[in-house]
Amino acid sequence: MSTPSTPSSVTPPLPGFTHLYSGKVRDLYSVDGHPDRVLVVASDRISAYDHILPTLIPDKGIVLTQLSLWWFDQLADVVGHHVLSATDGVPRQVRGRAMLCRRLDMAPVECVARGYLAGSGWADYQRHGAVCGIDLPAGLADGSRLPEPLFTPATKAQLGEHDENITIDVVADLVGAARAAELRALTLAVYTRAERLARERGVLLADTKLEFGTVPGATDGRYVLADEVLTPDSSRFWPAEAWRPGSAQPSFDKQLVRDWLTSAESGWTQASGEPPPALPASVVERTRERYLEAFRRLTGRDLSL
């Protein structure tokens, strides 16, 4: 088992960069003198049930960044991306967990692709027999593989709020019919490529959330991939050998954290209105190992720390 590096919560002041925003996991900086660039830094913070937890998962931010970089390379012939460099121009303090990127005009929706029924998709199906207005066959179970991948977009929630599933008609109202069709096509193309690559490595990609944007002033106006891509934070990865439709699947993500928070041991409930408690060391270590195992399985190598 690898030795954890020093966990990162909030990145230190970075000379030559100006802090713009901190999300649940990432910190965004502008690059002084380069208004067309941003620095995206992934911390070791972890969130659950729309709360940022007080406990860090060592090396999580490095996993998210390095796995995103690997996937950007695998998908380069499918769609462009926003990364300029992970080394040149990246401050030493955050190297390994940061990407220097082009500043984009972001599409105002989360682009979700689902190949299996799980999470909010399973909840929608139980209520309506459909997901995001797309009718599905009767008799599907939690974890069932869908007849074909679905584009099931969602709103972009503010920090502390929850994304809401929407239909493609709502996306068309936001960005226009042609742009909505482009987002759908790109999302499904990325999912199809990634699902095949992951399955070849013994991992099922149940669903994933993508973000797209356009380069300001670019003549072609094409969408490119942004933020993170196909990480355990933005995707459901299941070990193929353990897949059994009909119940929740084991996964390479933060499900251990969610399970502990909703257990009697934590003493916490969502309805309490209180922030979640600190995680025990055993949950931290097991969650860290899930993230590292996802990286190992998908890339075929250990994470360099």
Q: Is residue 86 a contact partner of residue 99, using CB atoms and an 8 Å limit?
A: yes
Residues 188, 294, 116: CA angle, nearest 5 degrees: 40
Please state, as a whole number, how many other Cβ atoms lie within 10 Å of the Cβ of residue 124.
Answer: 19
Whole-angstrom Cα distance, residue 68 to residue 51? 23
Enclosing H/E stretch for 26: strand 26-31
pLDDT one digit per residue (tens) for the chain, 305 residues = 567 876 666 667 899 999 999 999 999 999 999 999 999 999 999 999 889 999 999 999 999 999 999 999 999 999 999 999 999 999 999 999 999 999 999 999 999 999 999 998 999 999 999 998 899 999 999 999 999 999 999 998 665 566 788 999 999 999 999 999 999 999 999 999 999 999 999 999 999 999 999 999 887 889 999 999 999 999 999 999 999 999 989 999 898 999 999 999 999 999 998 999 999 999 999 999 999 999 999 999 999 86
**Residue 33 in tokens:** 């003198």
3-state secondary structure 134-166: EECCCCCCCCCEEEEEEECCEECCCCCCCCCEC
Q: Is residue 210 a contact partner of residue 194, using CB atoms and an 8 Å limit?
A: no
In CATH terms, the superfamily for domain 108-242 is: ATP-grasp fold, B domain (3.30.470.20)
Q: Considering the entire predicted model, what is its pTM?
A: 0.93
2, 99, 140, 211, 253 from 286: Cα distances, Å: 13, 27, 31, 29, 10
Enclosing H/E stretch for 41: strand 34-42
Q: Is 183 helix (H, G, I), strand (E, B) or coil?
A: helix
